[in-house]
Amino acid sequence: MTRLRPANERGHARQGWLDSYHTFSFGHYYDPEHLGFSNLRVINDDTVVPGAGFGSHGHQDMEIISYVLDGALEHKDSMGNGSVIRPGDVQRMSAGTGVQHSEYNHSKTAPVHFLQIWLEPNRFGVEPGYAEKHFSPEERRGRLVLLVSPDGRDGSLSAHQNGLLYGSLLEAGEAVEHSLAAGRRAYVHVARGRVAVNGQPLDSGDGVALDDVGQVRLEGLGHAEVLLFDLA
């Protein structure tokens, strides 16, 4: 079964400093038909104006992934971490028993565009943790690269959850395939560009949930950046 999630049907929140699109229910946006998919709870597509951002706020028992598309995102947290992540960087914060953090646009002149992803953990009450890693365009181009996993396999970031998150950069005509084990399902999010997912064309911001498909084929329809979630 294939369920499309068109970009223009997502939730949308806009205030002076933030333009945010919500794939799943989040904050004041509630849609009972889109509460999440497996343990994938949030994909927020956020653009923040120069110098602004999310002040210190708390999280608990959630695995939070930040993925920058353009610009520079500055992070600080109550564990003592402080960093600036840029395109190609993937950041994982395990909120566990509780953590405070802030996220700001590091630039005073250019916006930052990033995805924030929440994955429900497979263990609650863990010690909060933080990690980040850079995945170069060269290693992601024309192939699926594992970015996040439960066990840090194949050079990925480890997180306390049961999903596998892959990333790829595709040009027109390039294709990659991913096999799903029995009982697994997939969610594909097009971060930008155009991609055909099992023959279905998708545009920037579109997503698709895939059940009972053993194979997922992604084909570039132009320059594209895409994320694939392999989920329980």
Model confidence over 55-94: pLDDT tens digits?
A: 999 999 999 999 999 999 999 999 999 999 999 999 999 9
In sequence order, the 6+-apart residues with CB closer than 8 A to the CB of 230 are 163, 164, 165, 166, 178, 180, 184, 186
Distance CA 127, CA 153 (A): 21
Strand partners, 46: 20, 114
Answer yes or no: are the C-beta atoms of 94 and 126 closer than 8 Å: yes
Q: Over the stretch 128-156, which tens digit does the pLDDT of each residue have?
A: 999 999 999 999 999 999 999 999 999 99
Give the residue from 125, 121, 79 showing the smallest Cα distance to 102. Answer: 79
Domains and CATH numbers, the chain: 9-134 (2.60.120.10), 137-231 (2.60.120.10)
Residue count of the chain, please give it.
Answer: 232
Q: Is the pTM of this model over 0.95?
A: yes
Q: For 8, phi and psi rounded to 5 degrees?
A: -80, 0
Q: Over the stretch 179-219, which tens digit does the pLDDT of each residue have?
A: 999 999 999 999 999 999 999 999 999 999 999 999 999 99
Average pLDDT over residues 164-171: 98
In sequence order, the 6+-apart residues with CB closer than 8 A to the CB of 116 are 42, 43, 44, 46, 64, 65, 66, 67
